[in-house]
């Protein structure tokens, strides 16, 4: 098992690279697609905002109310904004959301993000 020992001792695990921001398909702004507590994918601004109310943990996002958001900020948390709040093309996002909710339309295929494994 010397090979394995060498691997474990001599090769510190490299830190995971920061995920590359993706881009809004409408305004090209940097966003990240994260999973909300309800399991839905949501676009979140890639960079924190002083007005943000979305807390990010790994690839999960939690939307905070005003009071918990203020408390989290006091604890030094970086909060982000849901991208649609700031997107100049919010109407397109809303139209898209409405389209996805229509029963007559087939479920769109899940978008693959970050390439295949």
The residues that touch Zn ion, with contacts defined as CB under 5 A, are 24, 26-27, 29, 87
Nearer to Zn ion, 27 or 42 (CB): 27
Q: Quick one: tokens of 73?
A: 């900020």
For residue 29, the minimal CB distance to Zn ion (Å) is 5
Cα 30 to Cα 62, 87, 106, 117, distances in angstroms: 19, 10, 29, 23
Minimum Å gap between C-beta 86 and Zn ion is 7
Query: How far apart are CB 78 and Zn ion at their closest, in Å?
Result: 20
Q: Smallest Cα–Cα separation from 80: which of 18, 19, 32, 16?
A: 32
Half-sphere exposure of 99 (CA within 13 A, CB side): 7
| Cβ nearer to Zn ion, comparing 73 with 87 | 87
What are 70's two structure tokens?
A: 């203020």
Nearer to Zn ion, 43 or 53 (CB): 43
Nearer to Zn ion, 24 or 34 (CB): 24
3-state secondary structure of 98: helix
Tell the smallest beta-carbon distance from residue 52 to Zn ion (Å).
15
């Amino acid at each position: 098992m010397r090979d394995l020992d060498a691997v474990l001792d001599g090769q510190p695990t490299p830190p995971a690279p920061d995920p590359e921001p993706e881009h809004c398909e409408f305004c090209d702004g940097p966003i990240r697609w994260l999973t909300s507590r309800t399991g839905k994918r949501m676009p979140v601004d890639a960079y924190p905002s002083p007005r943000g109310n979305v807390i990010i943990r790994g690839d999960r996002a939690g939307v905070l109310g005003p009071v918990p958001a203020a408390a989290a900020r006091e604890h030094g948390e970086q909060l982000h904004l849901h991208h649609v709040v700031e997107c100049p093309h919010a109407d397109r996002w809303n139209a898209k959301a409405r389209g996805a909710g229509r029963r007559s339309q087939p479920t769109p295929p899940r978008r693959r993000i970050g390439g295949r494994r």
